[in-house]
Amino acid sequence: METVIQIKDLTKVIQPHFWSKKQMILQGLDLEVHSGEIFGFLGPNGAGKTTTIKSLMGIIGPTSGQIRILGRGPRDTAVKQQVGYLPETPYFYDHLTGREFLNFCGRLFAIPKNDLRAKTNRLLALVKMEEAADRQLRKYSKGMLQRIGLAQALINDPKLVVLDEPLTGLDPMGRKEFKDIIAGLKEKGTTVFFSSHILPDAETICDRVAIINKGKVLRVGRLDELLDAKLRSVELICRGLTAEGLNKIKKPASTSNQNGDEHILTFPEMSPANNAVREVLASGGQVVSLNPLKESLEEYFAREVSKDA
């Protein structure tokens, strides 16, 4: 499998002022990202995610260590032709319209005029910005700017797309559409590297993730390798129970709550949950759902970062 991103012993030390102490932002960070995968780069605020991404993009230089993108240095112009990038806080020429901005970005890559017009229209449709395409960027909302920012990151049909907090500022529908676009990029063979604070969203689309804290990688791997696959509890949601039936199924339950006409119960394992289902049906009730609960990425992340702290 081709290695698209390779980071070895990356260190970044800064000194904001000559009278202040030096701060180590990255501490010997090692990472590899493979061709065609969606890789999540996760960490709390101040963990070093954006510093790593800026180093990847050649915006800042590392204090020490090595970075290779597609086998070359991050500032190699041949590499930049094959990379799309959306920073966390992008700067836009806000007097331009969305369409003009994409045309401007396309001209930086020397895309022929006729091809650029078709590509711009396709990307505007992809990010659902056709209706606002001829409106000035200064009149865009945060979510709209994220959409046009994603479009510009794809204008050159990149082999690698790097997104720094791409889901920030989006409503639930926008996050779903962004995740669908990212999944579509993977289907085309594009490698996607992105950082995010929205862990449930990352969990649904990532092939592998790395958890970073205090400038070093704590864990890296596939989600099915990292997350505990053991059953933690079973949640039963039911309705229409008699008082007698409810009392019977509450006895073996770990917790029991009521939300309107629905009763929500959790059981320590599957066997008592199955018995409760039979009791609900026997008493004339209705089973709304039966959900086995396992460790989530959010729980795993919190546990690993807490251990490191």
Q: What is the pLDDT of residues 82-137, one digit of tens each?
A: 999 999 888 889 999 999 999 999 999 999 998 999 999 999 999 999 999 999 99
Residue 294: predicted pLDDT: 82
Q: Which homologous superfamily does the CATH classification assign to the domain defined by 231-299?
A: Ribosomal protein S10 (3.30.70.600)
Amino acid at 80: K
Which parts of the chain register pLDDT below 70? Answer: 229-230, 309
Whole-angstrom Cα distance, residue 3 to residue 173?
33
Whole-angstrom Cα distance, residue 134 to residue 103?
12
Q: Where in the chain is the domain with CATH 3.40.50.300?
A: 3-227
Residue 229: predicted pLDDT: 64
What global pTM score does this model have? 0.83
Residue 20: predicted pLDDT: 83
Of 25, 53, 57, nearest to 40 by C-alpha is: 53
Residue 290: predicted pLDDT: 92
- Considering the domain 3-227 in this protein, what is its CATH number? 3.40.50.300
The secondary structure of 175-199 as a DSSP string is HHHHHHHHHHHHHTT-EEEEEES-H
Residue 196: predicted pLDDT: 87
Q: Is 231 in contact with 294 (CB distance < 8 Å)? A: yes
Q: Is 39 in contact with 206 (CB distance < 8 Å)? A: yes
The helix-helix angle for 243-250 and 270-282 (nearest 10°) equals: 170
Q: Where in the chain is the domain with CATH 3.30.70.600?
A: 231-299
Q: Could you tell me the CA-to-CA distances from 184 to 69, 77, 151, 179 in Å, in that order? A: 22, 26, 14, 9
